[in-house]
Structure 1
Amino acid sequence: MKQPAAVTYIESMKEQAEVVSVSKDTLYQEIESKSSNYEVKAQNAKIDKVWKKMPGLNGQTVDIKSSYEQMRKIGKFDEKRLVFKETKPAIHLHELGAEPIYRGHPDKKMNAFLINVAWGDEHLINMLDTLRKHQVKATFFLEGKWVKKSTELAKKIVADGHEIGNHSYNHPDMRTLTRERALEQIIKTNRQIEESLGIKPKWFAPPSGSFKQETIKLAAQEGMETIMWTVDTIDWQKPSPEVLQKRVLGKIHNGAMILMHPTDSTAKSLDALITQMKERGYKLGTVSELLSEKRQS
């Protein structure tokens, strides 16, 4: 039943009175006056001279009303009870031209594992077990030919919640291919991944990191960004776990993307790597999480 106009008017006046009361509250005013001290400006995505294409990062402002509700319970200002809202940059990663991406934002204390798979099935299960143990999600760049051959293992990677990227069809040197052959490698792999896993990749990792500008443009044409790395395990050289761990831990930084493969060295190093990286305060996530504009929680 529709309320009488008089009742609606009274309720409206009560709400306005509450707003006025809150606005005059000294605690509310204190939060309002201090809010600028906690404001962080959003940073735009950009093309860096060294790192090429780099993601932006959200800024933050104080949600004054929500913060007030949190502090009203204790009756005083407490910065630990501040509630923040994220603010978006003006320029986003997808708005920039076709360039490779080597790292996440330098102010984001997060790393991502890039696991390129074209062989090494015998080590993948151990790596997946370790990632599951630590509740870490990685991005697996899969060769199309491998997906066709090892479909059930590829499905297990997906079932564990990991992200899937395109790693060409049969691992050629993309820099030496004609435009037609390069495009075929990209499209054929996407089709195989979609057919076998029901996923359309949005990231492309050229084999051995070999590419030319045309390669990046072709990937972009198919809706994918080209992903490189900042830290290389060089695990294909079969280093000891100790050497591999020292190599990675000596080079990690905010926004690092760490390249690895399903090798014995990496399988034996992964547990210690994750443990020590977390101890240093790094969060580990997928490429999508690392390159998102979302601030570190």
Structure 2
Amino acid sequence: MKKSWVQFIVFIMILGVAAGSLQNPYTSMYLTDLKEQATINVNGSPLYNEILQAKERMDIPPANAVVDRVWKGIPGYNGIMVDAEQSYAKMKGKAFDEEMLVRKEVEPDIQLDDLEPTAVYKGNPNKPMVAFMINVAWGEEYLPDMLQQFKKYNAHATFFLDGSWAKKNPDMVRMIDEEGHEIGNHAYSHPDLKQLSDAAIRKELEDTNQVIEATLDKKPIVFAPPSGSYANNAVKIADELGMQTVLWSVDTVDWKKPAPQALTAKVLQNVHAGALILMHPTEPTEKSLEALIRGVEKRGYQLGTVSQVLDSKRVEKR
């Protein structure tokens, strides 16, 4: 019993010492001084100063999405910042090495989804990526060869499908999807949406989505108005159905059957960062596709889907 009592008293004393240490103002001041001294040591370090100088030189702030008077919605683009503290921790005890800097993407405060529903004609002008948007309501005889060319270069596009075409060609729809391409909505019967009521527009879009979902178990998130004809009501209805309305900034005009060389030259003369390039499954497109893929990449642009071009993630110019 006596031994237990002594152990209890010792336990209380230990608790008192611990509590006193936590409440002791001198202990608190000492800990604070250590923390401040560590900060001073870091801030006064030649290595840390070199990192800060690199940060000032290399930081790129993010760009917010905006609505342009001419081009409508312009997506945002991530910035990239040097994390000075993590870079210092990684290089501590070594010489400054720019390759060891810790850089992180920083998203913009305003993304495309934060804006009021609006059409989009191109990606952010600072993003070195472009997309082929292929509207399909006919021309299935050219698709297999086009898919082979995309596969050869490990490139992907967005195919906007007419709903009635997709219903008649489910195997082709599955083939496009299996090759890793994005599937978009191109309305059901290729109508002029400006001439339709809200209810009729909604039916065109919903019927197409239903066909695509029944075939692929996927719901489109991008919508291309047939012939580029639309009004704001169509944009709002597409938005309500979870789809971004997309048009183009470069047109192949391949439906006029130009010579493949002329088609290629026109596109490559007008291609730009964030370009959305309109085409169809036609013979001129089929015969010029390889030259287009190579020409776009030669100019330092990556090929991606429409959704990839419109998101804010960074890509490096090749």
- Fold match by TM threshold 0.5: yes
Structure ID, larger Rg = 2
Cα separation, 1, equivalents of 2:87 and 2:295: 35
2:264 to 245, 253, 257: 245
1:84 to 99, 103, 112: 103
Unaligned runs of 5+ residues in structure 1 are 1-12
- 1:104 pairs with 2:123: yes
Structure 2-normalised TM-score? 0.83
Distance 1:196 1:51, change over 3 A: same
- 1:195 pairs with 2:250: no
Distance 1:71 1:267, change over 3 A: farther
Cα separation, 1, equivalents of 2:58 and 2:150: 35
Kindly provide the CA deviation profile for residues 8-64 of structure 1, in whole angstroms up to 9, marking residues without a partner as x: xxxxx9xx99x9599375424421343122111111111001110110111111033
Cα separation, 2, equivalents of 1:142 and 1:72: 55
Give the Å deviation of 1:227: 0.3
- 1:135 pairs with 2:154: yes
Give the Å deviation of 1:150: 0.8
Cα separation, 2, equivalents of 1:122 and 1:98: 36
Q: Which amino acid aligns with 2:130?
A: N
- 1:48 pairs with 2:68: yes
Unaligned runs of 5+ residues in structure 2 are 1-30
Residue in 2 that maps onto 1:38? 58
Kindly provide the CA deviation profile for residues 101-131 of structure 1, in whole angstroms up to 9, marking residues without a partner as x: 0000011111111011111111101111111
Residue in 2 that maps onto 1:6? none
Q: CA RMSD in A?
A: 2.2
Tell me how many residue pairs correspond in the alignment.
282
- SS of 2:131's partner is strand
2:81 to 61, 78, 89: 61
Cα separation, 2, equivalents of 1:140 and 1:83: 38
- SS of 1:99's partner is coil
Kindly provide the CA deviation profile for residues 155-174 of structure 1, in whole angstroms up to 9, marking residues without a partner as x: 01111111111000111111
Cα separation, 2, equivalents of 1:28 and 1:162: 46
Give the Å deviation of 1:251: 0.6
Cα separation, 1, equivalents of 2:135 and 2:214: 20
- 1:126 pairs with 2:131: no
Kindly provide the CA deviation profile for residues 81-106 of structure 1, in whole angstroms up to 9, marking residues without a partner as x: 43310111111111111211000001
